[in-house]
Chain A
């Protein structure tokens, strides 16, 4: 889902976040000091520049005067020296500025990189429950938008902060050195400027927020409409949808032009204030000059500096804004990085797993107030086929998540070969389980790569072997480029059933001791499914397998069927014995044959 840029959000804990950002800047402190020094120096040079140039022009003026009155000539040597000195000054200043920006961009990019890296590593340490409560789009936004905002704002704001403050202080000092009285007059510009800047920012913020909100609304409408295009057309709903869109589009238009306009007000207003200040200072200066309190040359220099007084203030306002968005983005990044992680045992259990699974009075709930599995006990010998059936929401996938330790039980225990699975390191435990999920999850890459994911050390031959067993080999060869065909981003260039065959091939390649098939074959047509089942039977020999399905035909060959309802196992046994019982299972099975369409 496209996310609007959160450029003007406020952080909840501004100080705390800024502190954290400062701490993360620590490794770069040497470079930062350099940056500070260079920025100050280059700004100072920029301030001094005009003053020195004035010396040259004054020398020029007096020389010219002298020439006309035949009392002298233009001192080219002096002027030349001043100009050369200035050139050197400018070049050095430019160099400093360059080095400063070079270092700064290095820091911000590296910070960006390390934040992203930290987030990617954090993802692997967070419990599954974290992801199931949130949308992917939201987490993704933190990796991309928030990290970007953080580093970009940092990059721009630090440089600008240093230069603006330096400029402001430098200009202030220069003005003071010329005339404290006039400086006092000039300083009165400050509150006026600040007031104007703040009120523009405040008003435009309102419209910026509205714009971001409407952008989100419009984007959402666009996404929904384009994804549900068929349904909209099938129900002739185009006009209504268009009307709704036009309404939100209009609102977006209103907030867009207003925020654009208001943000563009700043420059002209600053211009006016700057010029007004100029006039006021000129008048005051004139008065003082008449009274002999100040020389004309000083006034000229002073006025130059007054002009440079308002732009740093405007830049500081921008910096302040950037700090706001930086803190907001940083907060979201740090919030993610501080999430509680999964607790991991350090023990390593290395032994041949036979595949004996025991559930011992297991009790579990996703939330505290809602228990999904109430009291489940069961013993499964190695190599047995266990089918788990039941209506939706009965708890079938939950058992799988508990087996794989995506969640831990609240009470009771699950044992693998007699050892509590909590005593296994998660990665070791999972290496023994092969999983085929309802969601197929393939990534961008060749079909070969996708299947090889089951065992990264497998050779091409082994991959093709597994693919043949999964009855995928044939259709793969009919595809353009066969095994080298690239699956695209949404994996939309192969059908649902074909995807499932690939994931089955992947599991076959992985060759684990315990298999978990979660409604794996329900998207494949029943004919292909029976072929796969044959292959699965060969594969499942000697392995313990858990099969969760809706289709009773899938589970008819199971050694043991666990019938679940409302989180509990209500019946256990094989197909024939359960039918004889004439209980819940029999009812479920027979509902296939009721008089219907």
Chain B
């Protein structure tokens, strides 16, 4: 887990930028709901009226209001307005004092106009204003304005005292209703509303644009970072594997290494995208929601805790039940794959043994197991979604119920309730996001540790630093060499002592599995010896840099291995050589005939792993590759086995001309291949049991005699010099 985060730390600047963008995004996300409710509540319901201080007001209305205000309030109001024709226009900023001044008078007028009617009409209001002004006229003529005001104030106050605190907000909306009707009377209601809607609407769109821009930017950065991490990891792993020796590759197995370089990195890459987008975002959103909920100061927070608790509990329960089955899915899929692969590669033997029914049953078993397992996992997940929705919806129901109780006690208002529900949903959703992602994390964690295993693997074979300043001739000496495979119990090779000189051909024969290929692997330093040493011209090969050592060697393995490209690119593989040299190599390797028969000849395309050429052709191209390199030492690991006798003989004849001064080592099965070797080593169970040429060995070595006799008749063997 920590190491997953470490990868991110390389891109810390981007991460910080993403974080900032997400904060902005969260802010917008949290602000937009309030804007949408503003549009509905204020914009539509209240016709866009935000304050109870009217911008323009008719003379009669204002006059009526002024009478209901206290002395100094009235004065302030008068100062705030200027009269033009019949309309007063507000000339200064709206402030709290003005609002307070207007509130009660407006409310009184509205209640006077309503007369317990459902909806107040403009004409009702006008009538009320007129009635008030008339009633003021009806006051005794001698009364001063201030006295009239006092009377009115005391009447109002007695009414007001009967009401309580929580109705103050209500009064504000009543007051705004006055303004609404006022505007309606002036015929500007729609204009006011529209301008409000446009204002808030464009603000909302602006926020949305910002939100969207942030989301897109975050998406861009997250995609780039995660893809970059994927690319980086892939490259590192690839480079590391290239530096492996056989021991490291075998400890992982080639197939596993391929999966780790491809599949595992893909998984990790996907997780990074999710990490950067969701895992960072969800907590921000959640915390934002919590803060907003906290600000409402209500006592319903226990519902949120309950809901989140239940959801997490549900997910945890499902994980416990389903996780083991989830893990098993991969192995079962592998099993079906493997059985299918076996059936497909073995079509011939299956039919030859008439085992079709048996194989079908075997497949059916794997298939059924997979189906049952997947049925379980998908059905478990099917259980999860509806349940979660029920819990979440139930949560909102609880909020409404207990919110109602709270409102009943005067602790809360309707608008708060709806806002509460919205924010609660937000908090719960963010927890859900985190939970969902944490389900994916374990899988990615496993993938990541597999990748790390490869990256952290210590190399068993180190290359020397300094190149050896020496003109090599190509003499190889095995000095008391013993070798045990890394996982092996017994020694594969024991006490080998022999020398191969330039101009000499050495052959190795022996029973299967006795260690012949191992000798070649040791010369190439694909493995290091366990005891003793191998010397090149007297220098221990471990003190020669790997590339310098391998420059001297032309290695041809048992199976021809080709690479995608062309025949030319394969032959020129190890070296920068001219086309003539390449053609010469192809000629000697007896490959020219089939190469020229192709339409593109040397430029013919070779598919991946050389699947479009036959085994024999592959081998000849591999041999040409070695010849083209013109090395000091030739190593042939049973490389002629896929060729028929004639080709084999002709090839070696041509080759011998080229390798006159070189050191040649051939591992072979056919006696005919090794008959004329200068030196033959007979290997049995890792030991040299015979060393010499053909004649000497026929006289002295029992094992050699057995091998030879099994292939040729006595007279033939005798007739050979």
Known: A68-B166, A453-B355. A260 touches B652 (CB 8 A): no
Cβ-defined contact, B669 with A74, below 8 A: no
B359 interface hit (Cβ, 8 Å): yes
CB distance from B116 to the nearest CB of A (A): 9
Report whether A550 and B44 are in contact in the complex, using a CB–CB cutoff of 8 Å. no
Mask of A69-102 contacts with B, CB within 8 angstroms, 1/0: 1000110100110010011001101110110011
Q: Shortest distance in angstroms between B672's beta carbon and chain A's nearest beta carbon? A: 4
Q: Which of B224-232, B288-296, B437-445 contacts A (4 or more CB under 8 A)?
A: B224-232
In the complex, chain A residues whose CB is within 8 Å of the CB of B219 = 260-261, 264-265, 268
Residue contact A257 to B223, C-beta cutoff 8 Å = yes
| Complex-state Cα separation, A65 to B414, whole angstroms | 10
Among the listed stretches B239-247, B423-431, B473-481, which one makes contact with chain A, having 4 or more residues with CB under 8 Å of it? B239-247
CB-based nearest A residue for B706: A527
Specify which chain A residues have a CB less than 8 angstroms from the CB of B397 in the assembled complex. 53, 83, 86-87, 90
B128 contacts A by Cβ under 8 Å: no
Q: Does B386 contact A (CB under 8 A)?
A: yes
* In the assembled complex, B446 has its CB within 8 A of some CB on chain A: no
Q: Which of B194, B351, B367 contacts A430 (CB 8 A)?
A: B351
Known: A74-B404, A79-B401, A83-B400. A456 touches B358 (CB 8 A): yes
Q: Is the CB of B44 within 8 A of A299?
A: yes
A592 near B: Cβ within 8 Å?
Answer: yes
From residue B184, how far is it (CB to closest CB) to chain A in Å?
Answer: 9
Contacts of A285 in B (CB 8 A): 44
| B residues less than 8 Å from A264 (CB atoms) | 216, 219, 222-223, 277
Binds B, one of A18-26, A286-294, A309-317: A286-294
Q: Which of B39, B340, B346, B400 contacts A56 (CB 8 A)?
A: B400
Selected contact of A406 from candidates B351, B356, B551, B561, CB within 8 Å? B351
- Does chain B have a CB within 8 A of A458? no
Contact, CB under 8 Å: A124 / B350: yes
Give chain B nearest CB distance to A37 CB in angstroms: 16
Residue from A110, A238, A596 in contact with B649 in the complex, judged by beta carbons closer than 8 Å: A596
Q: A158 to chain B: closest CB distance in Å? A: 13
Bound form: Cα–Cα A527–B671 in Å? 11
Does B590 touch A at the CB level, under 8 Å?
A: no
The answer to whether B242 and A249 touch across the interface, beta carbons within 8 angstroms, is no
**Are A524 and B354 touching (Cβ within 8 A)?**
no
Query: 1/0 contact trace for A127-170 toward B, CB 8 Å?
Result: 01001000110011001100000000001000000000000000
Interface residues of A in 238-264 (CB under 8 A from B): 238, 241-242, 245-246, 249-250, 252-253, 256-258, 260-261, 264
User: A392 interface residue, CB < 8 Å from B?
Assistant: yes
Q: Quick one: which of A98, A222, A279 contacts B238, CB cutoff 8 A?
A: A222
Residue of B nearest to A285 (CB): B44
| Shortest CB distance A329–B (Å) | 16
Q: Do B611 and A135 touch (CB < 8 A)? A: yes
Question: In the assembled complex, how far is the CB of residue B550 from the closest CB belonging to chain A, in whole angstroms?
Answer: 5
Return the contact of A228 from the options B198, B352, B354, B563 (Cβ within 8 A): B563
Could you mark each residue 548-575 of chain A with 1 if its beta carbon is under 8 Å from any beta carbon of chain B, else 0? Answer: 0011110010000000000000000000
Interface-located stretch among A112-120, A183-191, A368-376, A461-469: A112-120
Q: Kindly state the separation between the CA atoms of A500 and B370 in the bound complex, as whole angstroms.
A: 33
A441 to B574 Cα, complex, angstroms: 34
Known: A102-B379, A249-B234, A271-B208. A83 touches B390 (CB 8 A): no
A121 vs B363: C-alpha distance when bound (angstroms): 9
Q: Are A94 and B387 in contact (CB under 8 A)?
A: yes
Q: A128 — which chain B residues lie within 8 A by C-beta?
A: 347-348, 351
Q: Whole-angstrom distance between the alpha carbons of A275 and B204 in the complex? A: 8
B194 vs chain A, min Cβ distance (A): 7
Closest to B489 in A: A480
Distance in angstroms from B413 CB to nearest chain A CB is 7
Verify if A296 is at the interface (C-beta below 8 Å from B). Answer: yes
The reply to whether the CB of A410 lies closer than 8 angstroms to some CB of chain B is no
Interface string of B604-639 (1 = CB under 8 A from A): 000011010010100000100100010000000000
One of A229, A453, A496, A530 near B512 (C-beta < 8 A): A496
Closest partner residue, chain A, to B611 (CB atom): A135
Chain A residues with CB below 8 A from B505, complex form:
597
A249 to B407, alpha carbons, bound, how many Å? Answer: 62
Q: Does A498 count as interface, using CB distance less than 8 angstroms?
A: yes
**B40 touches A (CB below 8 Å):** yes
Give the chain A neighbours of B341 by CB distance below 8 A. Answer: 136, 140
B230 touches A256 (CB 8 A): yes
Kindly provide the distance from the CB of B118 to the nearest chain A CB, expressed in whole angstroms: 12
Query: Does A238 lie within 8 Å of B242, measured CB to CB?
Result: yes
Query: Please, how many angstroms separate the alpha-carbon atoms of A229 and B413 in the complex?
Result: 74
Query: A490 within 8 Å of B by Cβ?
Result: yes
A525 contacts B510, C-beta separation under 8 Å:
yes
Contacts of A236 in B (CB 8 A): 547, 550-551, 574
A353 within 8 A of B: no
Shortest Cβ distance from residue B164 to the other chain A in the assembled complex, whole angstroms: 8
Any A CB within 8 A of the CB of B353: yes
Residue A522 at the chain B interface, CB threshold 8 Å: yes
Given known A223-B258, A551-B670, contact A597–B44 (CB-CB < 8 A)? no
A520 at the interface (CB under 8 A from B): no
Of B204, B277, B387, the residue contacting A279 (CB under 8 A) is B204
Residue in chain A with minimal CB distance to B673? A597
Which residues of the other chain, B, contact A300 by a CB distance below 8 angstroms? 40, 44
Task: Report yes or no: B710 in contact with A530, Cβ–Cβ below 8 A.
Answer: yes
Residues of chain A lying within 8 A (CB to CB) of residue B403: 60
Stretch of B55-63, B96-104, B331-339 that contacts chain A: B331-339
Determine whether the beta carbon of A64 is less than 8 Å from that of B608.
no
Smallest distance from the beta carbon of B714 to chain A beta carbons, Å?
13
For B47, the chain A residues whose CB sits under 8 A away are 286, 290
Cα distance, A271 to B509, chains bound together (Å): 75
Q: How far is the CB of B356 from chain A (nearest CB, A)?
A: 4
Bound Cα distance from A232 to B704, whole angstroms: 35
A223 with B36: CB separation less than 8 A = no
Q: Which of A8-16, A356-364, A431-439 contacts B (4 or more CB under 8 A)?
A: A431-439
Chain B contacts for A289, CB-based, 8 A: 44
* Residue A227 is within 8 A (CB to CB) of chain B in the complex: yes
Q: A47 to chain B: which residues have CB within 8 Å?
A: none
CB of B394 within 8 A of CB of A120, answer no
A174 close to B (CB within 8 Å): no
A282 and B344: CB pair below 8 A?
no
Scan residues 353-407 of chain B and give those whose CB is less than 8 A from a CB of chain A: 353-356, 358-360, 363-364, 367-368, 370-371, 374-375, 378-379, 382-383, 385-387, 389-390, 393-394, 396-397, 400-401, 403-405, 407
- In chain A between 579 and 597, which residues have their CB closer than 8 angstroms to a CB of chain B? 588-589, 591-597
Q: What's the minimum C-beta distance from A592 to chain B, rounded to whole angstroms?
A: 4
Residues A2 and B550 in contact, CB atoms below 8 Å apart: no
Q: CB-CB contacts of B256-300 with A at 8 A, as 1s and 0s?
A: 011101110010010001000100000000000000000000000
Kindly identify which residue among A87, A229, A231 contacts B394, using a CB–CB cutoff of 8 Å. Answer: A87
Give B476-488 as 1s and 0s: 1 = Cβ < 8 Å from A's Cβ atoms: 0000000000000
Nearest-neighbour CB distance to chain B for A382, whole angstroms, equals 20
A30 proximal to B (CB < 8 A): no
Is B64 in contact with chain A by the CB < 8 A criterion? no
Bound complex: CA A524 to CA B512 (Å): 6
Contacts A553-B711, A588-B646: A245 and B367 contacting too (C-beta < 8 A)?
Answer: no
Cα distance A224–B262 in the bound complex, in angstroms: 13
Cβ of A219 within 8 Å of any chain B Cβ, yes or no, is yes
Query: Which of B230, B269, B400 has the most chain A CB atoms closer than 10 A to its own CB?
Result: B400
Determine if A482 is an interface residue (Cβ-Cβ < 8 Å).
Answer: no
Residues in B neighbouring A60, C-beta threshold 8 A: 400, 403-404, 407, 414, 417
Instruction: Flag whether B468 is at the interface (Cβ < 8 A).
Output: no
Indicate which residue in B263, B351, B564 contacts A220 across the interface (CB closer than 8 Å): B564
Given contacts A106-B379, A285-B44, 14 further A-B contacts (CB under 8 A): A83-B400, A110-B371, A144-B336, A226-B254, A241-B242, A249-B235, A282-B43, A404-B352, A441-B346, A497-B513, A525-B509, A527-B511, A596-B652, A597-B664
5 pairs of residues in contact across A and B, judged by CB atoms under 8 Å:
A225-B242, A226-B254, A290-B190, A296-B45, A588-B646
